[in-house]
Structure 1
Amino acid sequence: MGRTILAAVAVLSVTALAGSATAAPGVVHGHFDRPQEDFASAGTRLRDGSPEDVGLDPRPIDAALRQIALWTEKTPDREHPMYAGAVSLLVHDGVVVRREAVGREVRYADASGTELPADQQEPMRTDTIFDVASISKLFTSIAVLQLVDAGEVGLDDPVAEYLPEFGVNGKESITIRQLLTHTSGLQAEAQLWKLPPEQRIPWIMQLTPEHPPGTHYTYSDPNMITLGLLVERVAGAPLDRVVAERITGPLGMTDTGYNPPASELHRIAATEYELDPPRGMVRGQVHDENAWSLGGVAGQAGVFSTADDLAKLGQALLNGGVYGGHRVLSEDAVEQMLTNFNSAFPGNAHGLGFELDQRWYMAGLSAPRTAGHTGFTGTSLVIDPASRSVVVLLTNRVHPSRDWGSNNAARQALAQGLAQALAVDPARGSWSWYADPARPATLTTDALGPVSGEAQVSFNAFVDTQRDSDGVDPLIVESSVDGVSWNPVPLRVSGPGAPDDPQSALAGAGHRNWWKVRGTVEADAGQQVRLRWRYAPDARYVGRGVNVDGILVADRNATLLDGELETERLHPDGWVSTSR
C-alpha cells in the first residue's frame, strides 16, 4: 500500500504534505528518536549540515520557517506583524540543520509603527545581535552553579549568609535553590527605574516575601537580581566580568555579553520605542527597564547574543557542561538544571535556572528534561537532551511596541517543526499508522469474527498527546457489535513512561517510546465485532501525534486480524501509513 506521511506543524494549521515515504524527493529514513539517557560526547562541536545528514525530514522544518517568515507581515488574524524580523537556528546531533534570517532588524520610526523609508530600514542577518531579555537568567544561574561546583556556596545555604543585608523582613531562611526555582516567595516584579539610583539595590534587599519561602511558585525578577548580586559578592567581580571570563569566553561566544560596544550597533536588532521612561527607540541598550537602571548589568536581564552563540551554549549543556575542550559546569550541575524541583507546583516545572517541559513554547519537543527559557523581547531557547536538539528563535517582537502582541505561536511553530522532523521508526515491519494531529482521525476494522466469546486486541503505540490543564487529547480504542454503538476497550499498557493502572484511553508525552498495549473486547459467542482507534486532538494541541503498529486481534480459537498482513481490512480516516 502507499507509504505516505503527513507531517503537520500544529500551529495555526501550518502543515507540510510529505508525500510518498519511499519515492518522494527529500524523504529520509532516519533513526528512531529513541530517548538519549546520557550526555552527548564532550567533544561534540557544532557543524553545518542538512536535515537529511542527521536523519531528519526537512519538510516540517521548512513549513515552520515559511510561517515564521510570513509573520514578519500582517496576517488575517493580526492587526500588526508579529515581529519586524527573526533569526531561526536548529541543531540536531551537533549539526546546524537550518540557520535563517527574515524581516528587518530595524523597521519603524516611532511607537505608532510608522515605517522608516526603505533605505533606512536594515535587514535581519543570521549574525544579528539581539537583546535576549530573560534568557539572561540562564547566564546568572550558570554563574551560581559554578560557585556551587567550586564549593564556594551551597544550594541550600541561606542567601543571607552571603548577602547579610538580604536577611531581613522574613527573608532570613530563603535559600539559593529557592531563588533559582522561583519558590522564594518574593514578588514577581520591581520598578527600580522609578527610584533614585542609590535606593535601587537597597529596595531589593528590603523586600518582604509575599508568601512563606517554599510554599508558592512565582516567576520573579527580584530572585534573579538577588542572585546576580550574590555572584558579584562571592566572586569579588562584577557580574558581566564573571560571565565573560567564566562562561562566554571559554565557550567561544564572541558576540555575547552586556552593554555591547557602539561599533556593533549596525548588527543589533532594535527593540521598543519607549515613552515611559522616555528613551526613544531602544537599540544597543538593554530593553528591560530594571537592568537599564542598574547600568545594563543585572541578574535577570542585560545579555545580548546571537543565534549561533546561544546554540553553542545549548550544545555545551547537551555535552554535559563542556564545549570546545572547555568545561564550564560539572555534569552534576547540568543534571540539576534539567531536574524538576517544583513537583509541588504542577505546570511550573523548573530546574536550577531552566524552565522544564513547557509545551506552550517547546511544542512536540516537550519532555520532563526538556529545558528552555523565553525572553520578553521575543526570544526563546529550547534544549532537548532526549533528542540532542537545540532550537533558537530570536525576534524583535517589541519593535516598535510591546503592545503589538506575543510571538508564542512562532516559538511553538519552530520547535514543532523540528519535533515533527524526527523519525519514529515502526515497531514492526516497514511502516506504522500515523494520526495527523491537525484533525480528528479514526482507524476502523472490518467486521471480525464471529468470535468465540471475548477477544483480545494487542498493538504498539507511540503516544505524544496532552492530558493536562490545557486539555485532553487521548487515543481511544473502541469496539462495536453493530457498527453504530461504540464502547471503550479497557487497556493495559507496558513500556517506559507507561501508566501502571488500566486505562480507558491513552495519553502521555515526552517519554518517546513505543508502548505495548493489550485490551479485552467484550462480545457474545457468535457475534461479529469491529474495532476502531480514535484520536481527536483539540485546536490547541501541539505535539507529535500518535503512531499505531502491529495490530493483532484474536479470540481463544483463531487470529481474527493480523494488521501487518491484512492491511485492506483496516479503514483509515485521517490516519496515514508512514515508514518513519
Structure 2
Amino acid sequence: MKTASGVFYFLFLAHFITSAQSYKQDQAQLKDTNVLSYGFPEDQGLNAAYINRKVDSIMTRGIQERAFPGAQLLVAKNSTIIYHKAFGFHTYDSIEPVSKKDLYDLASVTKIAGPLPVLMQLHDQGKFNLDEKFSRYWKPWRRKKDKKDLTVREVLAHQAGLKPYIVFVKEVMKHNKYKKRFVRSKKNSKYSIQVYDSLFLNRHFYNKMKRMINRSEVSSEKKYKYSGLSFLLYPEIIEHITGERYEKYVTDRIYHPLGACNLIFNPNGKYPDSLIVPTEIDTVFRKHLVKKWVHDENAALMGGVSGNAGLFGTANDLARLMQMYLNMGTYGGKRYISEATMREFTRVQFSANDNKRGLGFDKPLLDNHELDITKASPAPEASMNSFGHGGFTGTYVWADPDNGLLFIFLSNRVYPDRSHRNLYSLNIRPSLQQVFYLAHKD
C-alpha cells in the first residue's frame, strides 16, 4: 500500500508540475499575443482616484451642457483595459441609461474600421498598390482628365484635391418631398434598397451617385482637403478585387476572427432594439428619429453598407480592432496585417505640404505637442506616431503605440439634431484623453 501510495503521489506531483508549467506557458503566450484583458490603473502605474475624479467631472459637464446625452469610454494601457464605463442616457429624457453593451453609430470611424483593414490586407497581397493610379482600380476615372493620374496614396491621404462631400439626398427630394422615381413606401424588385422603415430607394440610384462622383471637380491645387468620396467607392473596389461582397469579406476576415462580432452594418433585426442608441431626429430625409438605421445620408442611400459610414459597434468590439492596429497588425496570436503595411499606413504622408494625414488614418496636428488643449487634436501629450479617426455622430478612436495607450469614446452628440456642437467647443474628447497621460502615480 505504501508503495502504491508513493507511486500515486509521484504521479500526482508530476501532473501538478506539468500542469503548472503548461499554465505558465499559456499565460506567457497570452501575454505575447497582446490580447486585451481587464486590470487596474495602478497596475500600469496610473492613479485611479485621479482618473475617476477627472473623467467624472468632464463627463458630468458634457451631459449637463448637452454636448451628448450619454457615452461609453474605454481606455486600455499596454493591452490592459484600465477604464470602461458608460455615462448618461440614450436621450435627454433620462429614460434608458447607457450600458456597455449599447450599440453606437460609428459614422466616419467606419473609414478605418471598414474598408481600410481590407485595403491593407490587399496591399500585403500585392493586389492594391499605393503608388498605382487610382484609376487602375476605378476604371471610370481613366476617362477623366482631372482624375486619371491621381494615385491611391494621394487619394487615401486626402491630398488629391477631391471634392469633400456631395449631398446626394438632394437628388431624391424636391420641396421637402420624395421624388417618386427614386423613393417609394413599399418594396418591390425596382425599389429594393431599404433606407428606413417603409422607405425604399430605386436600386439604380447608386449608379447615379457614381456618375456624380466621377464628374465631380478636382482642385488643381494639390493640398490637404478632406474628402469622403473615395470611401463610397471602396466597397465596390474591394468586391472587384476579392470577388466577395465587401460586408461579408470584412466580417469574415476581420471582425469575427478578432471576436468583434458586434461590429455590424444595418443592425435592425440583428441586435436588440433597446441596446441601439438613437442618433438624430431627422426632419429632412427620414422625417423621424433615426435609430437602427445609419445616420449618414450617403451611406443610407447605399443601403447602409458603405465605406464612409454605416458601421455600428460597441467600445469593447472597437477595442479589439484598435488593439490589433496598436500591435502593428497582430491580435491573439494571429497576424492580420503586416507590420510594414501598418507603419506605412499610419505615418504622415505629405508633411511637406502641411498635410497631417496618414493613409486613411487621421494623425496629430503637425505642431500638436506645442498646442493648448483647446486647440490640440488629439491631446497634446499623444505621440506623433499615434493615429485614429473621429465620427460626425460624436465617436472617436485613437491608438498611441509609443505609450501603449488605446482610447475609445462613443456618443450620440447629434441628438436631437446636429446643431449640438458642445462636444467640440468644450474639448471633451481631447480633455478626456489627456487625463490618461497625466494620471501617473507619484
TM-score strictly above 0.5: yes
Match of 1:202 in 2: 211
Give the TM-score, by structure 2 length: 0.79
What is the CA–CA distance in structure 1 between the aligned matches of 2:88 and 2:49, rounded to whole Å? 22
Give the TM-score, by structure 1 length: 0.61
Structure having the larger proportion of residues in strand: 1
What is the CA–CA distance in structure 2 between the aligned matches of 1:421 and 1:364, rounded to whole Å? 15
Match of 2:328 in 1: 320
Q: Which AA in structure 2 matches 1:175?
A: T
Tell whether 2:204 aligns with 1:188.
Answer: no
What is the CA–CA distance in structure 1 between the aligned matches of 2:54 and 2:132, rounded to whole Å? 45
What is the CA–CA distance in structure 2 between the aligned matches of 1:249 and 1:327, rounded to whole Å? 14
Q: Which moved more, 1:383-392 or 1:276-285?
A: 276-285
Match of 1:178 in 2: 154
Match of 1:296 in 2: 304
What is the CA–CA distance in structure 1 between the aligned matches of 2:32 and 2:247, rounded to whole Å? 26
Q: In the superposition, relative to structure 1, how do residues 249 and 211 fare at CA in structure 2: closer, same or farther (>3 Å)?
A: farther
Runs of 4+ in 1 over 4 A off after TM superposition: none
Q: Deviations over 1:509-535 (max 9, x none)?
A: xxxxxxxxxxxxxxxxxxxxxxxxxxx
Unaligned runs of 5+ in 2: 1-29, 172-181, 183-204, 369-375
Is the 2:397–2:408 contact (alpha carbons within 8 Å) kept by the matching residues of 1?
A: yes
Is the 1:89–1:392 contact (alpha carbons within 8 Å) kept by the matching residues of 2?
A: yes
Find 2:283's aligned residue among 250, 275, 289: 275
Task: Say which SS state the counterpart of residue 123 (structure 1) adopts.
Answer: coil
What is the CA–CA distance in structure 2 between the aligned matches of 1:357 and 1:422, rounded to whole Å? 22
What is the CA–CA distance in structure 1 between the aligned matches of 2:62 and 2:431, rounded to whole Å? 14
Task: Say which SS state the counterpart of residue 273 (structure 1) adopts.
Answer: coil
Tell whether 2:391 aligns with 1:416.
Answer: no
Is the 1:163–1:233 contact (alpha carbons within 8 Å) kept by the matching residues of 2?
A: no
Is the 1:60–1:420 contact (alpha carbons within 8 Å) kept by the matching residues of 2?
A: no
Is the 1:72–1:102 contact (alpha carbons within 8 Å) kept by the matching residues of 2?
A: no
Unaligned runs of 5+ in 1: 1-39, 76-80, 108-114, 424-579
Match of 2:399 in 1: 383
Equivalences, count = 366
Task: Say which SS state the counterpart of residue 407 (structure 1) adopts.
Answer: helix
Find 1:123's aligned residue among 91, 97, 120: 97
Is the 2:327–2:401 contact (alpha carbons within 8 Å) kept by the matching residues of 1?
A: no
Task: Say which SS state the counterpart of residue 68 (structure 2) adopts.
Answer: coil
Task: Say which SS state the counterpart of residue 100 (structure 1) adopts.
Answer: strand
Match of 2:260 in 1: 253
What is the CA–CA distance in structure 2 between the aligned matches of 1:421 and 1:403, rounded to whole Å? 33
Find 1:135's aligned residue among 106, 109, 112: 109
Q: Which AA in structure 1 matches 2:417?
A: S
Equivalences for residues 418-497 of structure 1 within 5 A? 418-422=436-440
Equivalences for residues 149-188 of structure 1 within 5 A? 149-167=124-142, 168-188=144-164
Deviation for aligned residue 1:41: 7.0
Q: Deviations over 1:88-108 (max 9, x none)?
A: 11100111111110111244x
Q: Which has the higher contact order (CA 8 A, sep 6+)?
A: 2
Equivalences for residues 30-45 of structure 1 within 5 A? 43-45=33-35
Q: In the superposition, relative to structure 1, how do residues 199 and 42 fare at CA in structure 2: closer, same or farther (>3 Å)?
A: farther
CA RMSD of aligned residues (A): 1.9
Q: In the superposition, relative to structure 1, how do residues 42 and 279 fare at CA in structure 2: closer, same or farther (>3 Å)?
A: farther
What is the CA–CA distance in structure 1 between the aligned matches of 2:124 and 2:77, rounded to whole Å? 28
Equivalences for residues 363-402 of structure 1 within 5 A? 363-402=379-418
What is the CA–CA distance in structure 2 between the aligned matches of 1:171 and 1:70, rounded to whole Å? 48
Match of 1:236 in 2: 243
Is the 2:383–2:403 contact (alpha carbons within 8 Å) kept by the matching residues of 1?
A: no
Q: Percent identity?
A: 30
What is the CA–CA distance in structure 1 between the aligned matches of 2:339 and 2:32, rounded to whole Å? 10
What is the CA–CA distance in structure 1 between the aligned matches of 2:357 and 2:440, rounded to whole Å? 25
Q: Larger radius of gyration, structure 1 or 2? A: 1
Q: Deviations over 1:76-119 (max 9, x none)?
A: xxxxx110101111100111111110111244xxxxxxx4xx6x
Match of 1:223 in 2: 230
What is the CA–CA distance in structure 1 between the aligned matches of 2:339 and 2:31, rounded to whole Å? 12
Match of 1:36 in 2: none
Deviation for aligned residue 1:226: 2.7
Deviation for aligned residue 1:235: 1.7
